[in-house]
Amino acid sequence: MSRSLTFLFVVQSNREPMVASGKYDVLNPLADCLLQNNDEKLHYVCLTLNNLAIPHPNKRVMALERIHKKLFANLCYVISSGKKEAYLCLICFTNLSFYEKAEASIGQYSPKQSTSLLARKIPPLENPNSMLRILQDVIANAARGTADYRWAFGLLASLAKHPDNAILIGLTALPRMAIQNLKESTIPSEEWKENSLEDFCLFLIMRLAEVSKQGLGVDVIETVKPIMINDSGVQGLKATMVCAFMEVPWSIYPHYGVVAAGSVAELMGNTFERKGKRKVYADNIFSLKTAVKAYCALGCAAVKADRESKHQDFSNTKVVALPTAVAVLLQIIAEIAAHWGEEENENEFDIHYDVKAGEYAVSALSSLLPALLLGEKAPRPSKRTGRICLELGQLLLTFSTKVPSVPAKSRATDAGEKISEAAETGLPLLEASYDLWKVGAAK
Give the whole-angstrom CA distance, residue 381 versus residue 288. Answer: 37
What is the DSSP code (8-state) at residue 334?
H
Delimit the domains of the chain by residue range: 249-443
Answer whether 295's CB lies under 8 Å from 265's CB: yes
What pLDDT does residue 345 have?
Answer: 47
The alpha carbon of 250 is separated from its chain's Cα centroid by a whole number of angstroms, namely: 23
Answer whether 85's CB lies under 8 Å from 106's CB: no
The alpha carbon of 99 is separated from its chain's Cα centroid by a whole number of angstroms, namely: 13
CA gyration radius, the chain: 24
What is the DSSP code (8-state) at residue 250?
G
Q: Considering the entire predicted model, what is its pTM?
A: 0.91
What pLDDT does residue 348 have?
Answer: 46
Give the whole-angstrom CA distance, residue 86 versus residue 142. Answer: 11
- Residue 442, burial from CB neighbour count under 10 angstroms (0-12, 13-18, 19+): exposed
Q: Tell me the mean pLDDT per 10 residues along the chain, length 443.
A: 47 77 86 90 93 92 90 96 95 96 95 69 92 97 95 98 96 96 96 96 97 88 96 96 97 95 96 88 90 97 92 89 96 89 52 81 96 79 87 95 93 94 84 93 70
What pLDDT does residue 113 have?
Answer: 76
What pLDDT does residue 267 have?
Answer: 96
∠ CA 176-360-199 to the nearest 5 degrees? 35
What pLDDT does residue 269 have?
Answer: 94
